[in-house]
Structure 1
Amino acid sequence: MISIEVTPLTTAISAKPHPHHHHHHDDPRGFVAAVELASEKRGLRLTTLRREVLELVAAAEKPIKAYDLLDQLRERHGNAAPPTVYRALDFLLENGFIHKLESINAFVSCHHPAEAHQVPFLICDTCSSAEEVCDERVAELIEAQARALGFRPQAQTLEVHGTCRHCRRG
């Protein structure tokens, strides 16, 4: 288990914004268009079902679970099956178009689908919203600590649970 002292990490992260700017896709159509472009550039096949699952994830205001996606697909098509949804989700995950929030077993669209990256999420335990922290220094710090300990990481999942600004006010 890797342990990282929180105080220096917090100081390093909050010291100043990261100079690399990421364009965020606030509208689902813009996000889907960005994924279509990234798929085309990479020679990936964004099938009708994959696109539809992507659209549903993008349109969700909060992280969405696979069975909620399945229910929405069944409303449209009537015959959608769990393996079909999971295959579409696997494709979208493998290609970095969505993220899986392991602690709540739900999916969110990626704010920058054209680039491979590892990012932490802030998850509100009150309203279930999730915010992608677009600061690659966090992942770089974890990676550097792992290398310093002789550990070769294959994947990172950092999810911070708490209460969002909106819920703290209300």
Structure 2
Amino acid sequence: MSDEAPLAFAHHDHSHCAADTLARAEAEAARLGLRLTPVRRRVLEILLEAHRAMGAYEVLDRLAAEGFGNQPPVAYRALEFLVENGLAHRLRRLNAFAACMHPGEDHAPVFLICRVCDAVAEAPGAPVRAALDHAAADLGFAVERVNIEAVGLCPVCARGEAA
């Protein structure tokens, strides 16, 4: 995973960013022999449309408007599939989901969540994870899964609050 500034907070060609991430997700799904159904693919596309987390009902509203059905299990099943297979992340603080920006990569992301605009950046978290693993090992504990979320202000909102 790159050590560059998280794209969610940097000016970039988002359509290229989303298309590239979707292509990597599709390749990872194929590599794993996963079936990326039209609903699953569309949910991933919806999550990739902006660097922010989305609740299941927001995703469901978009799916229903596009004719994919309006029952909650439609969205929840697709989101759960994406999370279980490393193509999306669940952000517990927001009770929402965000597309994984590094599908197929072994990484330990830290999620930086703007408390004003809900922008979400997936930042490299290897040093944080290593420190956590070390602290846990000192107590005889083996960490299997972790979700690190930090809440604060993105650069745009920080400039707005400073004004």
Give the TM-score of the pair, scaled to structure 1. 0.81
| C-alpha distance in 1 between matches for 2:80 and 2:39 | 12
- The aligned length equals 151
1:79 is aligned with what amino acid?
G
Which residue is 1:98 aligned to? 88
Give, in whole Å, the separation in 2 of the partners of 1:165 and 1:22: 18
Alignment RMSD: 2.0
Match of residue 144, structure 2, among 130, 154, 162: 154
Say whether the 8 Å CA contact 1:119–1:138 is kept in structure 2. Answer: no
- Which protein is bigger by CA-based radius of gyration? 1
1:86 maps to 2:72: no
Paired residue for 2:10? Answer: none
Give the aligned residue type for 1:142: L
Q: Where does the alignment leave 5 or more consecutive residues of structure 1 unmatched?
A: 1-19
Contact 2:108 2:124 in 1 (8 A): no
Residue 2 of structure 2 aligns with which residue?
A: 21
Distance 1:118 1:57 in 2: 20
Q: State yes or no: 1:55 paired with 2:34.
A: no
Structure 2 length as normaliser, TM-score?
Answer: 0.84
2:120 is aligned with 1:139: no
Structure 2: segments with no counterpart, 5+ residues:
8-12
Counterpart Cα distance in 2 of 1:168 and 1:84: 37
2 CA distance for matches of 1:51 and 1:142? Answer: 34
